[in-house]
Every structure is written in C-alpha cells, then in structure tokens.
Structure 1
Amino acid sequence: MIKQILHKSFSAFLALLVVFSTVSFTVEKHYCGDVLIDASVFSEVEKCGMEAIEKLQKKSCCKDELDFVKGQDELKFSSFEDLNFEQQQFTLAFAKTYLNGFESLPKQIIPHKDYSPPNLVADIQVLDQVFLI
C-alpha cells in the first residue's frame, strides 16, 4: 500500500517537474520612483495614476519592467536506433521477459459447474440416529 502511494506521488512529481520546466512566462512590474507598485504574472499591472502628470511633464518618474522567464525549449528525444548494440539487446531481452511474465493461466474447465445437488427433504442420518464416531 505504501509502495503504491510513493510510486504515484513520485510519478506525479516528475510529471509536474517536466511541465513546469518547459513553461515560459513573463513577470510584469510597475515602479513609481524606486517603489514597486504592482507585479503581475498573468494579467496587466495596475498603474500608479501618475500618467496624467507625466504627460504634462517631460520627465517620467514611473517605469515598467518586464522579466521574461524562459522555460526549457529543447527536450531530448532519443530513439531505439540511438542505442548501441548491447543496449538494444538488453532492452529487447528485458521487454520480452517482462511481457511474458504476465501471461494468463489457461482457462480451467469445471465439469460440474452447472450441476445443482438434489434437494434434501430430511437429514437421513439424524432420522435414523446413525452417526460416524
């Protein structure tokens, strides 16, 4: 039981690791002076409201910063032909013995499967008072 739980949790962890290592996203930040006003990953950042004043002035105190987190682009896809001869031999032998280990047993024929015993009207041994000792 504990082995199955560990196996499933480890498999889920590895699947999530592959998914999150290949995902790319952008972190958007808005600074007003040196103060961070808002940071966002999936939506647009909220501005500080200084845009109207910035239009009147030439100098801008606000700045937007984009941090792009790039995921892994190249995944290694290897084929059976990339293995050397000994590795191919071992892989084929392992697969053959593993798959043959799960062959089902021959179906057992039960000749009296549909036979129903006769109905007992009375227990003869009790009626005749004959018992095995």
Structure 2
Amino acid sequence: MALVVLFSTLSFTVERHYCGDFLVDTAVFTKAKSCNKDVSNVNEETVVVMKPCCKNEVDVVKGQDQLKNNSFDDLDFKTQSFITTLVLSYFDLFESLPKLKIPHKNYDPPSLIVDYQVLHDVYII
C-alpha cells in the first residue's frame, strides 16, 4: 500500500531532443543533451541564416497532490464491525502457550567414565 501511495504522488518530467525528425536524446529528471551543430569556417562578409531544425519536447507527468485521509469514524457501522471482528480474530490466532515448569531443568546427568557393559561385552537380553 505504501508503494501505491508513493508512485501515485510521484511527479517527473521527460525531455526529448529532436534534430529534424530524428530523436537524439531522451532524459528523465534531467535536461536532454542537444546536438550542438556549430558552423565553422565562416567569413565576416558571409551572413549565414540557419533555419532552426532542432526542437525540444517536455512532457510533465504530475502526481496526485492531495490525499484523502479517512478515519475509522468515517466508515459505516457494517464496515467498522467487520474490521473490528477481523482484527480481534486475527490477534486471537496467536495466543502463546502457558509456560510449563520443568522440575529437572537444571539437573546434569552424572558423567560416565567407563561403560562396563560395553567393556565386558555383557548385555542383558
């Protein structure tokens, strides 16, 4: 739900730079690079009038500005009772078990130094 709110309020711009009919660059969040056609070797007597063939297009995608905040009191009675029942039944699913007392919890068994049955190969059947 948080991602839906984040993406619905996100605004961004998409800039495209065209030289003639060809797309040169597209940029999101930044400026598009231009093609920079420089005229070199121009004499002072020559006047060059170039028709601008480049154009920039800017698309602005605006996000939602205002969010509607509803409270629990704005809901009708049926919806309030359904949500309350759902929440209470969900919390009742996870009841903890009662803590059991283990009387011999701290008892350590004696350490066996020699196992006489294995030592003498004597087994009671």
Q: TM-score, normalised by structure 2?
A: 0.68
The corresponding residue for 2:43 is none
Gap runs ≥5 in structure 1 = 1-13
Q: How many residues align?
A: 116
For residues 64 and 52 of structure 1, do their structure 2 counterparts lie closer, same or farther at Cα, with a shift above 3 Å needed?
Answer: farther
Distance of 1:40 and 1:122 partners within structure 2: 80
Larger proportion of helix? 1
Distance of 2:35 and 2:114 partners within structure 1: 97
Distance of 1:130 and 1:40 partners within structure 2: 85
**What pairs with 1:14-29 in structure 2 (closer than 5 Å)?**
16-29=3-16
Distance of 1:122 and 1:50 partners within structure 2: 96
Q: Note if contact 1:50-1:62 (Cα within 8 Å) is conserved in structure 2.
A: no
Deviations 1:28-68 (A, max 9, x none): 11222322222211332121224769xx6374322211111
More deviation, 110-119/86-95:
110-119
Gap runs ≥5 in structure 2 = 41-47
- Compare relative contact order (CA 8 Å, sep 6+) and give the higher one, 1 or 2: 2
The corresponding residue for 2:45 is none
Alpha-carbon deviation of 1:122? 5.9
Aligned with 2:29 (options 32, 42, 52): 42
For residues 51 and 107 of structure 1, do their structure 2 counterparts lie closer, same or farther at Cα, with a shift above 3 Å needed?
Answer: same
Deviations 1:89-121 (A, max 9, x none): 121122112112212111110011112334456
SS in 1 for 2:84: helix
SS in 2 for 1:91: helix
Distance of 2:56 and 2:97 partners within structure 1: 69
Alpha-carbon deviation of 1:78? 2.5
Q: TM-score, normalised by structure 1?
A: 0.64
The root-mean-square deviation of aligned C-alpha atoms, in Å, is 3.2
The corresponding residue for 1:102 is 94
For residues 60 and 107 of structure 1, do their structure 2 counterparts lie closer, same or farther at Cα, with a shift above 3 Å needed?
Answer: same
For residues 121 and 59 of structure 1, do their structure 2 counterparts lie closer, same or farther at Cα, with a shift above 3 Å needed?
Answer: closer
SS in 2 for 1:29: strand
